[in-house]
Structure 1
């Protein structure tokens, strides 16, 4: 599915958090969002997911305005993994992941073995099958993050939005989750802090001060000048001697 944002704006109590954002993500593309803390990445993702209604502009899915779509239809097409999504309920890991199937259930379409298989696969994809019977409150932060991602995978979305999904994950699970996301045959918008991880995206966009100030191929966008102006760091681009991929090293510009 194609995801488009047109002149998107958002404000709270007169304070502008997002302004004139234009975004165009092609079907099957992985688009990385980068930017300093407070630059508007989370706000943009929530608008793209339909959790907040823009004060200005429109979000479209395959040309259809998100504002005119039924919530159930949106939930069957778009999944969002937020940074924080806590609960005080006594709930088991498998039950959390099974919530991803909710948009597809009804009186005429009850839970089935097909749903069980989807939940099983989602748990396996994030290496949490062995913890399916654990209570939510006993999990570490990284384990909870993996369960959130499994819940989104169980939703089988056409568009997957991820807000810093590698937060709290150890390096092994960071790499496995990012590789899984890259292999999904769906449209992905992923917010990342690690700029070397962002280099693996098909395209990236740079958020700063609530605006999308640049977007395009990673090597075109992540220039030394832009990194210094936006992040306050000096960057050096190197070629990995093992696979030839471009990697960046940083030092403070202060």
Structure 2
């Protein structure tokens, strides 16, 4: 499913957080968002998820305006994994993941064995099936992040938005989650802090000061000039001896 933003502008108390941002993500594409802290990545994802309506511009889902869609239909189409999403409710892991099925339930379509199977699969995909009966508040930060991703998977979205999903995860689970995301047959927009991880995306957009300043393949965008100008670092490009992929080693530009 295609996702696009056209000339998005978002301000808070007169401060412009997004400035004339336009992008188009093709069906099935994994699009990475990178940029310094405060560059607008999270704000853009929240606009794309339908959680914020921009001052000007619009979001299109398969060329139709998101603002003409019912919230229930948006929730059936788009899943969003935020950096921080907490709850004070005393719920167990399975119940947290089951919330992903909410947009599909109604008086005429109550919970079914199929919903159970979808939740089970989502838990298994993120390696949390063995903790299905654990209380939410007893989980570590990394475990909670994996539950958030499982909840999104339980929505069976056609578009998946992730805001730095590998935060709080150890390296094994970082690699596992990113591998899972790449295997999904959905459109993905993922904000990443680790630029080497961003190299695995189909395309990358660079945010800086609320603007989308560059878009293209990782090799086109993550150049020495761009990294110095936007991130203030020098970079050495190395080659992985196992698969010949490009790896970046960073040095302080100061």
Deviations 1:13-33 (A, max 9, x none): 111000100110000000000
Classify the secondary structure of the residue corresponding to 2:124.
helix
Deviations 1:27-79 (A, max 9, x none): 00000000000000000000000001111100000001011100000000000
Within 5 Å, give how 1:222-233 maps onto structure 2: 222-233=222-233
Distance 1:100 1:2 in 2: 22
| Counterpart residue number, 1:25 | 25
Superposition deviation, residue 190 in structure 1 = 0.2
| Counterpart residue number, 1:171 | 171
Superposition deviation, residue 237 in structure 1 = 1.0
Gaps of 5+ in 2: none
| Counterpart residue number, 2:211 | 211
Within 5 Å, give how 1:1-254 maps onto structure 2: 1-254=1-254
Distance 1:176 1:221 in 2: 25
Gaps of 5+ in 1: none
Classify the secondary structure of the residue corresponding to 2:91.
coil
Classify the secondary structure of the residue corresponding to 1:80.
strand
Classify the secondary structure of the residue corresponding to 2:242.
coil
Distance 2:42 2:95 in 1: 26
Deviations 1:219-241 (A, max 9, x none): 00001001001001001111111
Distance 1:3 1:235 in 2: 32
Distance 2:71 2:25 in 1: 21
Deviations 1:128-156 (A, max 9, x none): 00000000000000000000000000000
Distance 2:87 2:160 in 1: 22
Distance 2:223 2:45 in 1: 24
The 4+ residue runs of structure 1 with deviation greater than 3 A are none
Distance 1:56 1:214 in 2: 21
Deviations 1:190-239 (A, max 9, x none): 00000000000000000000000000100000010010010010011111
Classify the secondary structure of the residue corresponding to 1:107.
coil
Distance 2:244 2:27 in 1: 28
Classify the secondary structure of the residue corresponding to 2:21.
strand
Distance 2:105 2:169 in 1: 32
TM superposition score normalised by structure 1: 1.00
Classify the secondary structure of the residue corresponding to 2:109.
coil
Classify the secondary structure of the residue corresponding to 1:153.
helix
Distance 1:130 1:202 in 2: 33
Superposition deviation, residue 86 in structure 1 = 0.6
